[in-house]
Structure 1
Amino acid sequence: MTHLLISVAFALASSGAYALGAVVQERLAVRLGASTPWRVMVHALLRARRWWLSVALNALGALLHVAALAYGPLSVVQPLGALTLVLALPIGAAFTARRVANRQWLGAALTVVGLLLLLTLTVPGSGDGMDPADTTALIIVSALVLTAMVAGTATVRRTVPRSLMYAIGAGVAFAVASALTHAVTRQFEATGAATLLSPTVPAIAAMAIAGVLLSQLAYRGSGLGAPLATVTLANPVASAVIGVALFGERFSDGPLAMALLVVAASAASAGIVLLSPPAAAPQDGTGVDPKAEPPRTPALCRR
């Protein structure tokens, strides 16, 4: 029982770190504006201390998540990750001195319910790790998918749909990084420190960095709620697909499972739709006027 409580505490702390990191990223996106070219944005982010703070918070969230899994089962830790969205809304509201609208709370609740239902439909597999061929295939396929998604955003004119595409890409990148980390961990148990010389290690770093950058792009012009909800949802969905393909996991079948799948997808989709309008900045692709921000913005969000 003590180990379970420790696991829950680590999982809650992980959600809090991820939530705070998301808020810092969204505030940076507001400062830069929705029309800033992504190359200029990346250059500006690399010079901003608050960007590195958000990176540190995301890394802390990942470490706390791993610690939670060391003390408790995935069936407990993974659902608690959905609290990231619930925690981020009031934190973001505090940073902007605004109230969380009832519509946003409803959207968050629907997204979390949909996510939890989706998690219950995944049946754990044998726990066998990936062999080198599987690892290589995952890296190549995921790189191609992410490249295609990023290229596809250039054809999307509206800000919110483009942001959600970036958010889906971020969720996929984080899921791949987690799967590769799982593979390296199992390999480390067998071969020891020699595993650190594996090409999988830089691939993990590349996917983690891609996830952070894509999530940063997702917050441009779309507020906090909808992009974060999409990342939070896309990550476990992509993880489940990877688990089915490589780890012997499967989705529950039968009429009841199919009905729950439809309900879960509908609830999550409705939640993201509800989160989008109130949080969205101007959708014409123009930058955000810094003078329009509340005067009580905390020092964390100032240059």
Structure 2
Amino acid sequence: MTDLLISVAFAVASAGAYALGAVVQERLAVRLGAQTPWRAIVRALLRARRWWLSVALNAAGALLHVAALAYGPLSVVQPLGVLTLVLALPIGAAFTARRVAARQWVGAAATVLGLLLLLTLTVPGSGDGMTAADGTVLIVASAVVLTAMIAGTAALRRPVPRSLLYATGAGVAFAVASALTHAVTREYAEHSAAALIGPTVPAVAAMAIAGVLLSQLAYRGGGLGAPLATVTLANPVASAVIGVALFGERFADGPLAMVLLVCACGTAGVGILLLAPPAAVTDTADPTTDPVDAVPDRPRPLALCRR
């Protein structure tokens, strides 16, 4: 019981770190504006201390998640990850001195319910490891998918659909990074330092960086709730697809399971739609009124990018 409580504590702390990191990223996106070219955004973020704070918070969330898995089962730790969305809404509201609208709470609840139902329908596999060929296929396939998603954002004129596509890409990148990390961990346990030689470790770093950057771009024009809900949903969905393809996992069989699967996806989708309109409105606010902007150590490159 003690190990389980420690695991839950680590998982909740992980969700809190991810939530705070998401809020910092969204506030930076508001200050940059929705029309700033993404290349200029990347250059500005690399010079901004608050961007590195968000990176540190995301890294802390990942480490706490790993610690939670060391003390408790995945079946307990994974569902607690949805607390990220629940915690981010009041934290974001506190940063902007606004109340969380009832519509946003309903959207968050629907997204969490759909995601939890989806997680219960995933049947664990045999636990076989990923082969080198499987890893190569996963790296190449994910790179192609992410490139297609980034290219697809150029064809979207409305900010909210564009932000949701970026958020989906971020969720996919995080899921691939997690799967590759799992493979490296297994290899390291069997072959020690030899597991660190090869393309897998650089691919993990590349996917993690891509996930953070894509999630940052997702907060432009989409507010906080809808992009974060999309990342939170896309990550386990992509992980489930990877698990089915490479780790022998599967979704529950039978007509009832299929109905529940459709209901889970539909409920989560409705939740994201409920989150999107009010979140998009906050992006039109004057960035100079943002409490985050009032701090003395505001990074100057961000202000320059708004010209």
Normalised-by-shorter TM-score class: over 0.9
> Take 1:141 and 1:246, find their aligned partners in 2: how far apart are those partners?
13
Match in the other structure for 2:54: 54
> Take 1:26 and 1:124, find their aligned partners in 2: how far apart are those partners?
35
Aligned-pair CA distance for 1:221: 1.4
Picking from 278, 286, 290, the partner of 2:287 is 290
Task: Kindly tell me the number of residue pairs found equivalent between the two proteins.
Answer: 299
Contact 2:95 2:291 in 1 (8 A): no
After superposing on structure 2, the runs of 4+ consecutive aligned residues of structure 1 that deviate more than 4 Å are: 294-298
Match in the other structure for 2:295: 299
Contact 1:113 1:264 in 2 (8 A): yes
Q: Alpha carbon RMSD of aligned pairs, Å?
A: 1.5
2:169 partner letter: G
> Take 2:174 and 2:182, find their aligned partners in 1: how far apart are those partners?
12
Alignment of 1:133-212 (within 5 A): 133-212=133-212
Contact 1:95 1:298 in 2 (8 A): no
2:36 partner SS: coil
Aligned-pair CA distance for 1:297: 5.7
Match in the other structure for 2:17: 17
Q: Deviations over 1:16-59 (max 9, x none)?
A: 00000000000000000000000000000000000000000000
> Take 2:296 and 2:278, find their aligned partners in 1: how far apart are those partners?
23
Give the unaligned 5+ runs of structure 2.
300-307
> Take 1:301 and 1:246, find their aligned partners in 2: how far apart are those partners?
46
1:136 partner letter: T
> Take 2:259 and 2:157, find their aligned partners in 1: how far apart are those partners?
34
Match in the other structure for 1:35: 35
> Take 1:159 and 1:19, find their aligned partners in 2: how far apart are those partners?
22
Q: Deviations over 1:132-173 (max 9, x none)?
A: 000000000000000010001100110000000000000000
- Cα gap change, 1:119 to 1:241, in 2 (>3 Å): same
1:113 partner letter: L
> Take 1:119 and 1:28, find their aligned partners in 2: how far apart are those partners?
32
2:232 partner letter: T
2:68 partner SS: helix
TM superposition score normalised by structure 1: 0.96
2:287 partner letter: P
- Cα gap change, 1:301 to 1:69, in 2 (>3 Å): farther
TM superposition score normalised by structure 2: 0.94
- Cα gap change, 1:135 to 1:295, in 2 (>3 Å): closer
Structure 2 residue 99 is the aligned partner of structure 1 residue 103: no
Match in the other structure for 2:303: none
Aligned-pair CA distance for 1:289: 3.8
Contact 2:223 2:282 in 1 (8 A): no
Match in the other structure for 2:302: none
Q: Deviations over 1:203-251 (max 9, x none)?
A: 0000000000000000001110000000000000000000000000000
1:259 partner SS: helix
Match in the other structure for 1:116: 116
> Take 2:80 and 2:296, find their aligned partners in 1: how far apart are those partners?
27
